[in-house]
Amino acid sequence: MSGNSFGKLFTVTTFGESHGSALGCIVDGCPPGLELSEADLQNDLDRRKPGKSRHETQRREPDQVKILSGIFEGKTTGTPIGLLIENVDQRSKDYGNIAEQFRPAHADYAYHHKYGFRDYRGGGRSSARETAMRVAAGGIAKKFLKQRYGIEIQGYLSQLGPIKAETLDWAHIENSLFFNPDPTIETQLEDYMDALRKEGNSIGARINVIARHIPPGLGEPIFDRLDADIAHAMMSINAVKGVEIGAGFESVTQKGTEHRDELTPEGFLTNNAGGTLGGISSGQDLLVSMALKPTSSLRIPGKSINTRGEAIEVVTHGRHDPCVGIRATPIAEAMLALVLMDHMLRHRAQNMDVTTDTPIIPAQA
Amino acid sequence: MSGNSFGKLFTVTTFGESHGSALGCIVDGCPPGLELSEADLQNDLDRRKPGKSRHETQRREPDQVKILSGIFEGKTTGTPIGLLIENVDQRSKDYGNIAEQFRPAHADYAYHHKYGFRDYRGGGRSSARETAMRVAAGGIAKKFLKQRYGIEIQGYLSQLGPIKAETLDWAHIENSLFFNPDPTIETQLEDYMDALRKEGNSIGARINVIARHIPPGLGEPIFDRLDADIAHAMMSINAVKGVEIGAGFESVTQKGTEHRDELTPEGFLTNNAGGTLGGISSGQDLLVSMALKPTSSLRIPGKSINTRGEAIEVVTHGRHDPCVGIRATPIAEAMLALVLMDHMLRHRAQNMDVTTDTPIIPAQA
Amino acid sequence: MSGNSFGKLFTVTTFGESHGSALGCIVDGCPPGLELSEADLQNDLDRRKPGKSRHETQRREPDQVKILSGIFEGKTTGTPIGLLIENVDQRSKDYGNIAEQFRPAHADYAYHHKYGFRDYRGGGRSSARETAMRVAAGGIAKKFLKQRYGIEIQGYLSQLGPIKAETLDWAHIENSLFFNPDPTIETQLEDYMDALRKEGNSIGARINVIARHIPPGLGEPIFDRLDADIAHAMMSINAVKGVEIGAGFESVTQKGTEHRDELTPEGFLTNNAGGTLGGISSGQDLLVSMALKPTSSLRIPGKSINTRGEAIEVVTHGRHDPCVGIRATPIAEAMLALVLMDHMLRHRAQNMDVTTDTPIIPAQA
Amino acid sequence: MSGNSFGKLFTVTTFGESHGSALGCIVDGCPPGLELSEADLQNDLDRRKPGKSRHETQRREPDQVKILSGIFEGKTTGTPIGLLIENVDQRSKDYGNIAEQFRPAHADYAYHHKYGFRDYRGGGRSSARETAMRVAAGGIAKKFLKQRYGIEIQGYLSQLGPIKAETLDWAHIENSLFFNPDPTIETQLEDYMDALRKEGNSIGARINVIARHIPPGLGEPIFDRLDADIAHAMMSINAVKGVEIGAGFESVTQKGTEHRDELTPEGFLTNNAGGTLGGISSGQDLLVSMALKPTSSLRIPGKSINTRGEAIEVVTHGRHDPCVGIRATPIAEAMLALVLMDHMLRHRAQNMDVTTDTPIIPAQA
């Protein structure tokens, strides 16, 4: 592999499989002096953790994170932060069938052909279980960005299958079972999910994430543009098949006069750009949206082949989210936090007021 | 900046502004022994170059590339390949106004706030002119991938504003003025563009790129997934606002039974995944689609502010593409080639048959 | 920090402080299919661990490594390998004095000025305790290199203060208390170390490392030369103040006719180059030598200042190696293994026989 | 290759061969607002360029550097800086013999085995000619470090074969033909070199570099320590076989009481550490020393083999430095500047005063 690190200056490297003994990560590059405790990270881990309602996988993982290094007297020291989460509910069961089967839409087939060999227990490394460490690491970035710069990051489910959120009630999101911002569709979502579960099927979803109070200037063109790194981050989340910034695919049918965000002394009049211009933050809210495919594990039989190339029928038993999109909300927030944190440090490195040597980006007043 | 390199093992680093003396790049990591000449790169540069029809900017650039190093007796030596393209048609004109104006939807505002200072001539570094070097470098990757592995990469315009290509006639693409694959809409496109030009407006577009004969196994989860790196690459192209792999945003409304690509001994039955599973190529065609916003330079006045924060009205004169999406086709192909080349080398590095030490990915028969 | 990763393709990232709860690392990029167990790593950890004789620090650490991921059915899967070693003998004591003191030749002063804040317990991150993880990670590289390519890496103490090893008896090294290859000086070393301990002083040392059966072709000029990466690796070990390849500083007084290693059909006649030409391995043995400064913790009082800039006298009590050079031998071996492993993968990525696609470097027959 | 970039945030990527049409590099990461012209870089290029006296190769290269991008109205813009130097004196001659010969101590043998193919004209990429771009890029770093932080970097020849500089007269260095700081040995050096040239032989040398006014805090342990990156940088220079920081190999025989640099309120009493503690700058002068092997090209015949493995006798005609160490002085200065610049940016990124957000390292008063 060697693709398990994210970020250039605020670097997160993770390890761990679905059914191994533990998941872990190293966060390297956190500035010294940040007050940080395990409790700071637990809230988002709890938002992501499985089994919070009947609409999620029933695997029970407390996802208690331990900080193993990098903190002294309650503050970060500037040295690498080691994080660990033990797996406690990896059920022993007979994986004999799965070992030789390529489940449709799973990573089985690709992993087998890449490595000639795979840890098939619960999907191994390709399981969404690894995203717990993204959320833990992202929690550090979120805290720093909030405290130092006032940046706030919030995600929500904007669509689940055919059901769209039409209103955006920020207060409702954390009360919803689905990170749904529209109180009027909550029951509809519950009914839809119940029917889906009975059917043994799954469904796709759309997640939006917004970041507010972004200073202008973040992003390193031409390749490490802020929007490009966001696209990378979001598409690296399991099941994501599409990413949009601002108007996204609506831009295809927009004319220039419609798309361009005009400026006045009071600010931008619209936000089709979604907060980036030329790959650099403009100071407007960052608007990111992504599509997640339906969960691949289904109780409805599907055609496939085994490792010997023979036709088989696959049925997936076990515990799975009928809509992986739901729990993706805190993951998407975490990834956006990691991107912003990395770009904040990158920007700080090279851009300073020429005469005073102070960074162009100021601390929050 | 320091964000001007792309790729981990097949690394492309570029420089150059719209109105500087030259554009250049260094391609580091090309395997030795590849036959390579300037002519190999010129075809794609010609496909991208401006002024080929009345529907493009009338800037005249021959975009003749020079290879300055890394080739000996007609073959790559394994040492870095220096490429150079001189700018010949950067018209001298009075940029006095632009210097103090933030043109809506341009990078002006963001560059100003990032660096406190910008080269405003023709957009400087943020001009799409830099994409010439992407196409030149991508040409090396394209040739290697084709010759060694038989991989073919082809892009096309799938939608321009409201007009969609309904059929896919591969032979028509290179005959079209728009990389349009549907002969039945060619006239419609011409008329639409003529009207747009008269109006002084611009329009968005959708570009698709397909890569065929991809071996399974490319991609380095969990962060450097093949699809994540493709999303990064595409979103790093000027004006791109959205990226999809396979079913993309259609996945949102798909059920699991609908999305999953079933397997038979004869192969996959569908390709909603777009060629990647778990972030690793599956051997199916790679299907990538992207949205490009309308060109920001318009003859229709728009509201903005100047560097002193005062309200102004902006009108852009000069030479511009009314639809930047059109010429983006060879750029998107080049970026996909760069991603695949980098991942081919990354895969080769770590995956070999354990007993024979030969790479898991074979050369083309 | 963000400087806690080593290697480009075979990447080792570490965390952990002297008196934290654990040390850990992530090894990313290990090829799949390598048989690997904790026992494979324990031997070198035992060679490095403290308290093996009276000539070393009396801190008692079993240094039992746990593999937390990346292994399935006894083999590496190609996914990241998480390693953990718990600290068990970090004595609680009053660090009140040290907190405000800058001990001469320690990292205290520099850490304080870099971070404005430091974990002073046992040196925190700057303690040589972190090298345990280098040895654990290096063990994986050592095993792969030995098994696949037959490469062997061996270090030894070539000088301790004024006492030089004059003969090279490979069999004696592992029997010696000092990794000393010269049986005739073993008693002399013991006596010297006993006197030193009584004196409360410390002494420098020279360590040599040799790697055999290296294929020609490893190294990526012009910056990532094999010798340059070795110099980086060795100088990154605590207390190292100088690095030589081959003839090293003797080259200064050599004439060209004396230094050049002539070639015959039977091979090279000498090895002043130390196994690299133009930054690339020549197939000769790699010869590396390094200087380690005397331990900084002394019972003999020294002048210093405290964090308020006031003059103080510093005396170090507690448990320390009187010669850090001794235990550096397995660390230097590990670092050389990491460099070679990384370069082996880098070389594989880009260099293949053009017609057969097999790597230029063959597996061991 | 893919090893042709140096630095993480201030990144220099180079290309070019001895007998190609041009050498070039891209400097990515230079902060905006630095006044910069070609004249700023020319002085060091002139110090390095060949043919300044009879003691150097007689190849005549003006080494006129062109800045192709990244500057606007006389200042850096923060975008990548493209640099180009044309080769003007690459004599056409018959290389027929060299093509099949492995010259002893040259890179021929290693390049051949790595790539299976090499550009043998004048050593191709392995020629010291590539160091011109290091000096050009280093000139940008030198100017920034001097102007913003007052940092000064100065190198000198401390030993040539058996002749050592015993005094350090800074003013003499630039008047000497050898970057020699000791006026009393200048004639001795001339005589030695004249005799050597007549003999057709070559000689090694030792170069020292010092950097003054370094703020404490530069360096990113544990792997990207300042001293480790310096070792990497220096060992990446052609012909360097050893690197020392501070007391270097003298540390081997030093006791702790002798080596440790005691501190008083007025500062450090000695500088055995050479300016780094725990891999981080201490604010003392950085003291670096390196060994360069004798030039490999000799008129005195030597034994070797050809590409078919047959015994041959090699005599090198053509133009060569009898002591490559002499012209290495500005190269070593440039590499030290690149390391310091990169670490200055890295440090800035992550370390700031927690309440004011100003960097811990201040601008020069």
Interface pTM, i.e. ipTM: 0.96
D264 in contact with A at a CB cutoff of 8 Å? no
From D32, D354, D355, residue closest to A351, measured CB to CB:
D32
Token pair for residue C11?
């990447």
Percent of chain B residues past pLDDT 90, beyond the cut? 79
Considering only the beta carbons, identify the residue of C4, C259, C351 that sits closest to D204: C259
Give the residue from chain C lying closest to D159, CA to CA: C252
Q: Quick one: pLDDT band at residue B360, thresholds 50, 70, 90?
A: low
Cα distances (Å, whole numbers) of residue A42 to A36, A149, C82, D10: 11, 22, 22, 37
Range of lowest pLDDT (B102-116, B155-169, C79-93, D292-306) = C79-93
Residues facing D290 on adjacent strands: D207, D243
- What is the distance between the alpha carbons of residues C269 and B153, in angstroms, rounded to a whole number? 52
Domain count, chain C: 1
In a domain, D365, yes or no: no
Cα distance between residue A87 and residue B280, in whole Å: 26
Residue A363 lies in a domain: no
Residue D51 vs residues A310, C35, D185, D193: alpha-carbon distances, Å: 73, 58, 22, 15
Q: Determine the residue type at B132.
A: A
Q: Is A349 on the interface with D (CB under 8 A)?
A: yes
Residue with tokens 């011409």: B190
Closest CA in chain C for residue D233 = C228
Contact at 8 Å (CB) between B79 and B69? yes
Given CB atoms, is C360 within the 8 Å cutoff of chain B?
no
Nearest CA to CA, how far is D239 from chain B (Å)?
19
Residue D99: Cβ-neighbour burial (10 angstroms; 0-12, 13-18, 19+):
middle
For chains A and C, what is the number of CB pairs under 8 angstroms?
165
For tokens 């749904």, the residue is: A180
Q: Which residues of B touch C79 (CB under 8 A)?
A: 221
For residue range A55-100, what is the model confidence (pLDDT) as tens digits? 888 788 899 999 999 999 999 999 999 999 999 887 656 566 788 8
Residue type, B99: A
Alpha helix stretches (DSSP H) within A174-210: 186-199
Query: Hey, are the CB atoms on D203 and C300 less than 8 Å from each other?
Result: no
- Say yes or no: A24 contacts chain C, CB-CB below 8 A: yes
**By CA distance, what is A30's nearest residue in D?**
D350
Q: CA of C118, closest CA in chain A: separation in Å?
A: 6
Residue A177: CB atoms within 10 A of its CB come to 15
Question: Does B31 contact C350 at a Cβ distance shorter than 8 Å?
Answer: yes
Q: How confident is the model at residue D365, as a pLDDT?
A: 36
Q: C26 with A24: CB under 8 angstroms?
A: yes
Q: What is the mean pLDDT of chain A?
A: 92
Chain D contact present for A351, CB below 8 A: yes
Q: Look up the domain containing C139 and give its range.
A: 5-350
Encoding tokens for residue B97?
A: 């106004």
E strands in chain B: 5-6, 11-15, 22-28, 65-67, 71-72, 75-76, 81-86, 152-160, 163-164, 205-212, 240-245, 263-264, 267-268, 276-277, 280-281, 286-292, 302-305, 311-314
Chain B residues inside the 8 Å CB shell of A23: none
For the segment C123-139, the average pLDDT, to the nearest whole number, is 95
Is D354 touching C (CB cutoff 8 A)? yes
Query: Residues 6 or more apart from C289 whose CB is under 8 A from it?
Result: C158, C206, C207, C208, C209, C243, C244, C248
Cβ distance B256 to A294 under 8 Å? yes
Alpha-helical runs (H) found in D7-158: 38-48, 96-100, 108-115, 131-149
Instruction: Compute the radius of gyration of chain B from its Cα atoms.
Output: 21
Place of tokens 């004011």: D356
Q: Residue C206: its chain D contacts at CB < 8 A?
A: 249, 252
What pLDDT, on the 0 to 100 scale, is given for residue B244?
A: 98
Summarize pLDDT for A258-317 with one digit per residue, the tens: 999 999 999 999 999 999 999 999 999 999 999 999 999 999 999 999 999 999 999 887
Tell me which of B34, B348, B351 to substitute to probe the interface with C (most C C-beta atoms closer than 10 Å): B348
Q: How many CB atoms are located within 10 Å of the residue B174 CB?
A: 11
Q: Judge whether D361 lies within some domain.
A: no
* Peptide bond between residue A163 and the one before it cis (omega within 30 degrees of 0): no
DSSP code at position A183: G
Q: Which residues of A are annotated as a binding site for NADP(+)?
A: 48, 54
Q: Which residue of C has its CA nearest to A80?
A: C15
Q: What is the pLDDT along chain D (365 residues), one digit of tens a residue?
A: 589 999 999 999 999 999 899 999 999 999 998 999 999 999 999 999 888 888 888 788 899 999 999 999 999 999 999 999 999 887 656 566 788 899 999 999 999 988 887 888 888 999 989 999 999 999 999 999 999 889 999 999 999 999 999 999 999 999 999 999 999 999 999 999 999 999 999 999 999 999 999 999 999 999 999 999 999 999 999 999 999 999 999 999 999 999 999 999 999 999 999 999 999 999 999 999 999 999 999 999 999 999 999 999 998 877 778 999 999 999 999 999 999 999 999 998 877 654 455 555 544 43
pLDDT per position as a tens digit, B253-308: 999 999 999 999 999 999 999 999 999 999 999 999 999 999 999 999 999 999 99
Is residue B125 marked as binding? yes
Find out whether C77 and C63 touch, Cβ atoms under 8 Å.
no
pLDDT for B180 equals 98
Top pLDDT among D361 and C76 is at C76
Give the tens place of pLDDT for each residue, C168-193. 999 999 999 999 999 999 999 999 99
Q: What pLDDT, in 10s, does the model give residues C222-260?
A: 999 999 999 999 999 999 999 999 999 999 999 999 999
Q: Which residue has the tokens 């760069």?
A: B338
Q: Specify if D356 maps to a domain.
A: no
Choose among A3, A105, A232: nearest Cβ to B221.
Answer: A3
Is C362 inside a domain boundary?
A: no
- Residue written as tokens 């690095």? C243
Phi, psi dihedral angles at A141 (to 5 degrees) = -60, -45
Residue D177 in contact with residue D53, Cβ under 8 Å? Answer: yes
- So what's the pLDDT on residue B92? 58
pLDDT above 50 for A22: yes
Q: Which CATH number do you get for residue A127?
A: 3.60.150.10
Contact with chain B for residue A244, Cβ under 8 A: yes
> Which residues of C fall within a CB distance of 8 Å from D265?
305, 309-311
- B354 falls in which pLDDT band (50, 70, 90)? very low
pLDDT band at B338 (very low <50, low <70, confident <90, very high): very high
- Give the model's pLDDT for residue A61: 86
Calculate how close chain B gets to C353, using CA atoms only, in Å. Answer: 9
Q: Which of B231, B241, B239 is nearest to B276 (CA)?
A: B231
Backbone angles phi, psi at A25, to 5 degrees: -155, 160
- Classify residue B191 by burial, with Cβ atoms within 10 Å: 0-12, 13-18, 19+: exposed
* Alpha-carbon Rg for chain C in angstroms: 21
Cα separation, C213 vs C152, whole angstroms:
7
Nearest by CB to residue D26, choosing from B26, B114, B118, is: B26
- C59 to chain D, any CB pair closer than 8 A? The answer is no
Contacting chains of B (3 CB pairs or more, <8 Å) are A, C, D
A24 and C118 within 8 Å at the Cβ level: the answer is no
B70 chain-C contacts, CB cut-off 8 A: none
Q: Residue B209 corresponds to which tokens in the numbers above?
A: 């790129």
Pairing of strands D280-281, D276-277: antiparallel
Chain A neighbors of B204, CB-CB under 8 A: 251-255, 259
In the predicted structure, residue B347 carries a pLDDT above the cut 70: yes
Does pLDDT of B246 surpass 90? yes
Instruction: Please calculate the CA angle C52-C58-C60 and round it to the nearest 5 degrees.
Output: 75
Task: Please answer yes or no on whether A80 and C14 come within 8 Å at the CB atom.
Answer: yes
**Does the distance separating the beta carbons of C126 and D360 come in below 8 Å?**
no
Measuring CA to CA, which residue among B177, B133, B123 is closest to residue B318?
B123
Q: Between chains, do C13 and A24 touch, taking CB under 8 Å as contact?
A: no
Average pLDDT over residues C36-59: 90
**Cβ neighbours, 10 Å, residue B227:** 32
A322 in helix, strand or coil? coil
pLDDT value of position C59: 80
Cα–Cα distance measured from residue C279 to residue D107, given in angstroms and rounded to the nearest whole number: 8
Identify any residues that bridge with C159 across adjacent strands, giving them in sequence order: C164, C206
Given the structure tokens 């130390």, which residue do they identify?
Answer: C274
If we measure between CA atoms, which residue out of B287, B172, B166 comes closest to residue B230? Answer: B287
Is residue B80 situated within a structural domain?
A: yes
From CA A81, how far away is CA A76, in angstroms rounded? 8
- Distance in angstroms (rounded) separating the CA atoms of residues B179 and B202: 18
CA dihedral D310, D313, D319, D322 (to 10 degrees): 120
Rounded-to-integer distance, Cα C203 and Cα C298, Å? 10
The answer, yes or no, to whether residue C109 has pLDDT greater than 80, is: yes
**SS3 (DSSP) at C211:** strand
Largest CA distance in chain B: 71
Which residue in chain B is spatially nearest to C349 when comparing CA positions? B349
Task: Name which residue leads in pLDDT, B364 or D312.
Answer: D312
Q: Which residues of A are annotated as a binding site for FMN?
A: 125-127, 238-239, 278, 293-297, 319
Is B183:B157 a contact under the CB 8 Å cutoff?
Answer: no
Are B115 and D32 within 8 A, CB to CB? yes
Residue C364 lies in a domain: no
The torsion angles phi and psi of C23, rounded to 5 degrees, stand at -110, 150
Q: What is the pLDDT of residues A176-221, one digit of tens each?
A: 999 999 999 999 999 999 999 999 999 999 999 999 999 999 999 9
3-state SS class at A340: helix
Give me the residues paired with residue C358 across strands.
none
- Is residue D359 included in any domain, yes or no? no
As beta bridge partners, residue B240 has B292
Q: Tell me whether residue D238 is annotated as binding.
A: yes
Nearest alpha-carbon partner for C3 in D346, D220, D347: D220
Q: Is C35 on the interface with A (CB under 8 A)?
A: no
B328, two tokens: 């983006």
**Partner-chain residue, chosen from C2, C4, C28, that has the shortest CB–CB distance to A1:** C28
For residue C358, what pLDDT is reported?
57
- Tokens 């030597």, located at residue: D302
For C284-302, what is each residue's pLDDT tens digit?
Answer: 999 999 999 999 999 999 9
Q: What's the N-to-C CA distance of chain C in angstroms?
A: 43
Using alpha carbons, list the distances in angstroms from residue C117 to A41, A70, A162, D8, D203. Answer: 23, 12, 54, 25, 49
Mutation target vs C (from B280, B358, B361, B364; most C CBs, 10 A cutoff)? B358
CA distance B365 to chain C (A): 10
- Contact between C27 and C20 under an 8 Å Cβ cutoff? The reply is no
- Which has more confidence, D115 or C167? C167
Residue C349 near chain A (CB below 8 Å):
no
pLDDT of residue A89: 80
